[in-house]
Amino acid sequence: MNWYIELVQAYPIMTAMAQFAVLGTLGDIAARWIGKCRFFMPFGVRAVFLKMLEWAALAVCIKYAFTGFTGFVDGLTAHGLLPELGRFGRALVISAAMNLQFGPFLVIAHRLLDNAIDGRPNWANLDKGLLTLLWFWIPAHTVTFMLPVELRIGLAALWSVALGALLGFYNRRPA
């Protein structure tokens, strides 16, 4: 575990990009596998490469948002605009602030990039994507923000696989 923490500390942006490129793309693939109730390659090689680039770009935004919203909440607390919060309360407020302010941008940017990769517009169920900020991402990132900084991005990338599996389960169709 020390090697992982040292790598993340030495290369925070690059490791965020790598983790999301792999795990975010795996989440997209898992959603298709579970949704169709079968294992197959839902994307061509070009699309997988582009999705990995998409997730890597989103990871940079996510890494900056994690740092920025932590500072935002800590700054509000330092200026007496928020009460002193315990570990859980602080994590919940950071998660809520980030997902309610930055989250909609990320969901829409993600959909725009997916549309560009697919070569066709698809805005179906965008409302459901935005609702995941409330029922999935705020609770998930509350747990995430309770961890040491070095472990947060890795867990966030794992959460994207979990969300892909959940969405695939709820959108499944018999093969």
Q: What is the pLDDT of residues 83-112, one digit of tens each?
A: 999 999 999 999 999 999 999 999 999 999
For a pLDDT cut of 90, what percent of the chain falls above it? 91
Residue 79 located in a structural domain: yes
Q: What is the pTM of this model?
A: 0.94
Q: Which of 53, 89, 52, 94 is nearest to 72 (CA)?
A: 94
- pLDDT for 115-148, tens place per residue? 999 999 999 999 999 999 999 999 999 999 999 9
In a domain, 101, yes or no: yes
Count CB-CB contacts under 10 A for residue 95. 24
User: Could you tell me if residue 3 is inside a domain?
Assistant: no
Separation between Cα atoms, residue 99 and residue 168, nearest integer Å = 22
Q: Give the pLDDT score at 175.
A: 58
CA distances, 102 to each of 12, 30, 47, 119 (Å): 20, 25, 26, 26
Nearest to 91 by CA among 75, 74, 110: 74
Q: Give the pLDDT confidence of 54-65 residue by residue, as tens digits.
A: 999 999 999 999
Amino acid symbol at 76? L
Q: How confident is the model at residue 21 (pLDDT cuts 50, 70, 90)?
A: very high
Q: Residue 76 domain-assigned?
A: yes
Domain that holds residue 109: 13-170
Q: How far apart are the first and last CA of the chain?
A: 40
- Residue 1 inside a domain? The answer is no
* pLDDT attached to residue 39: 86
| Number of domains into which the chain is organized | 1
Identify the pLDDT of residue 33: 92
The average pLDDT across 9-24 equals 98
Q: For tokens 């009460």, what's the residue?
A: 83
What is the pLDDT at residue 174?
67
User: How confident is the model at residue 170, as a pLDDT?
Assistant: 85
7 found inside a domain: no
